[in-house]
Amino acid sequence: MSKAKPDFNRMLLRLPHSRRDYGAIRFIAELAELFGVDLVGTYVEDDNLHFLAELPSVREFRAGTWQPLASLQLAQDAAFAAREAERLFLENVGRHRPNLSFSLAKGMDAPEAGSGDIVVVIEPNSAIERATHQFAETLEAAFRSTSSILLVSGHVRQCSGPIIAIISGSDDPCLAAALAVAASGNEQLILIPSQPRLSLLEALETTTRVAGLAGVTTSLSEAVFHGGNILLPASVKGRLLVMSRKALIERPAFSQIPILLVSSELSSRADVTRPKPKD
């Protein structure tokens, strides 16, 4: 196994429209800090609202009666929503302060993701918002990219626990990413075979030697794969699950444990990750 740390550049986050989904940003900011990358939060305005405002037949119920959409009020509301998104973004980052930036985009004009980026998708808490076209398009855009992808449930709160790597062997590209975040966060690394009856004893031996340099303990476990669901043993309460995008047969479902899908096109830089002391 290579000792190189994965060469991630940025984490690109399309900011939620509901304030109830901002709780997940603390975990995202913490992970950006562990990888030492920039966190870019982009608030994307919904162009459909401006399109509707230009249609003469569209009405809204206001002041007890149906009236034409007020385009000026709509613009003011959109500007307020963008300012509120920026405030919530900065507020929920908390003490985890990677290099932050906030941007405003229209439609799907969010920053273009490259193979060295991590595209973050937060699953909304609301079933209604999960069913929207905007969320579906965000998810599809992530999987159309060549980037690594971080899938985070809006319910995520756990900011400690083992890092779980689902791997095919000691040369699996996601192993370096899992080891890097385990070392940076002073966490245990758990290896799980990506296929039934696949032995990881050689990978465990190789990983243990490298992990020992960074103060990381390693162990083996197993999981059950059913469709897009990953079923871990009840005793395994992980902080992050890491696996390769290339190995995916079906798109994994969101779970309580955030899932980092590592791009097969990700390059590496030759340095060994060292653990940071806990506060």
Model confidence over 219-237: pLDDT tens digits?
A: 877 777 766 677 776 667 7
The domain in which residue 225 lies consists of 163-269
pLDDT on residue 23: 87
Query: Which residue, chain included where needed, has tokens 């304030």?
Result: 19
Q: How open is the CA angle 61-105-252, to the nearest 5 degrees? A: 95
The 10 Å CB-count burial string (b at 16+, else e) for 190-214 is bbbbbeeeeebeebbebbeebbeeb
Q: How far is CA 27 from CA 93, 107, 120, 233, in A?
A: 8, 26, 11, 23
Question: Higher confidence at residue 258 or residue 112?
Answer: 258
Contact 121, 149 (CB under 8 A): yes
- pLDDT of residue 56 exceeding 60, the answer is yes
Question: Higher confidence at residue 152 or residue 207?
Answer: 152
203 & 114 share domain = no
pTM: 0.79
- pLDDT of residue 67 exceeding 70, the answer is no
Other CB atoms within a 10 A radius of the CB of residue 260 amount to 26
pLDDT on residue 55: 58
Q: CATH number of the domain that 34 lies in?
A: 3.40.50.620
Is residue 276 assigned to a domain?
Answer: no
34 & 103 share domain = yes
Tens of pLDDT, residue by residue over 110-165, are 668 888 999 999 999 888 888 888 888 889 989 999 999 999 998 886 667 889 98
- pLDDT of residue 269 exceeding 60, the answer is no
Q: How many domains does the chain have?
A: 2
Across-strand partners of 189? 163, 218
**What mean pLDDT is reported for the chain?**
78
Contact 15, 104 (CB under 8 A): no
pLDDT on residue 161: 85
Question: Higher confidence at residue 170 or residue 166?
Answer: 166
Contact 134, 211 (CB under 8 A): no
Q: How open is the CA angle 218-222-224, to the nearest 5 degrees? A: 150
179 & 248 share domain = yes
